[in-house]
């Protein structure tokens, strides 16, 4: 019996080691999208920018700030999946490439997601405590996004 457990442990460890070989390309872009960048398009106040940077940009921009544990699989795998899906839905670095209608919809979606505490993802804030959006921060961000959305919709 003991022998079997030892075997299972060794096999498990070998599988873990083999998993480390899978290191997909990192979400890092040194070519910054200047014009289409959300923070260049709008006059984003510093406090709002900081919140977006710490709580959203890891999954919704072209540059992820990778924590140490991200070098270890399977953590990296799940992270890359979130980044891929997050960027597909909303990329703050390429916001200006969306149609005006889509930009408006995204502003609305951002307000909704923050209001309902759906974003940032709970699985992310579990390990990134500093990414938790406090009630006071929530108010600041939603306030600013509401104003921005109003001024955008009155323009078109």
Residues that bind ligand HEC (CB under 6 A): 55-56, 58-60, 82, 85-86, 89-90, 106, 109-110, 113-114, 119-121, 124, 133
Q: In angstroms, what is the minimal distance from the CB of 23 to ligand HEC?
A: 19
d(CA 76, CA 80): 6
- Nearer Cβ to ligand HEC, position 75 or 121? 121
Structure token pair of residue 129: 């405590």
- Nearer Cβ to ligand HEC, position 12 or 74? 74
Q: In angstroms, what is the minimal distance from the CB of 21 to ligand HEC?
A: 24
Phi-psi region at 117: left, alpha or beta (left = phi > 0; alpha = psi -120 to 50): left
Structure token pair of residue 143: 């306030």
Q: In angstroms, what is the minimal distance from the CB of 128 to ligand HEC?
A: 7
- Nearer Cβ to ligand HEC, position 44 or 133? 133
Least Cα distance to 105 among 55, 156, 61, 57 occurs for 156
Q: In angstroms, what is the minimal distance from the CB of 104 to ligand HEC?
A: 11
- Nearer Cβ to ligand HEC, position 8 or 109? 109
- Nearer Cβ to ligand HEC, position 18 or 81? 81
Structure token pair of residue 103: 């930009």
d(CA 131, CA 127): 9
Q: What is the largest CA-CA distance in the chain?
A: 74
Q: In angstroms, what is the minimal distance from the CB of 81 to ligand HEC?
A: 8
The answer to whether 63 and 103 are in contact (CB under 8 A) is: no
């Amino acid at each position: 019996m003991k022998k079997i457990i030892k075997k299972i442990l060794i096999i498990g460890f070998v599988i873990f080691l083999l998993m480390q070989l899978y290191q997909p390309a990192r979400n890092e872009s040194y070519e910054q999208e200047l014009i289409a960048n959300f923070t260049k398009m709008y006059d984003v106040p510093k406090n709002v920018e900081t919140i977006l940077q710490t709580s959203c940009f890891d999954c919704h921009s072209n540059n992820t700030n990778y924590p140490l544990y991200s070098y270890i699989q399977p953590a990296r795998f799940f992270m890359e999946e979130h980044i891929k899906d997050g960027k597909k839905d909303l990329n703050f670095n390429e916001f200006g490439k969306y149609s005006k209608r889509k930009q408006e919809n995204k502003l609305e979606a951002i307000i909704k997601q923050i209001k309902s505490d759906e974003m940032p993802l709970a699985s992310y804030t579990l390990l990134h405590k500093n990414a938790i959006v406090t009630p006071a921060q929530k108010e600041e961000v939603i306030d600013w996004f509401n104003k921005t959305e109003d001024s955008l919709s009155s323009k078109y």
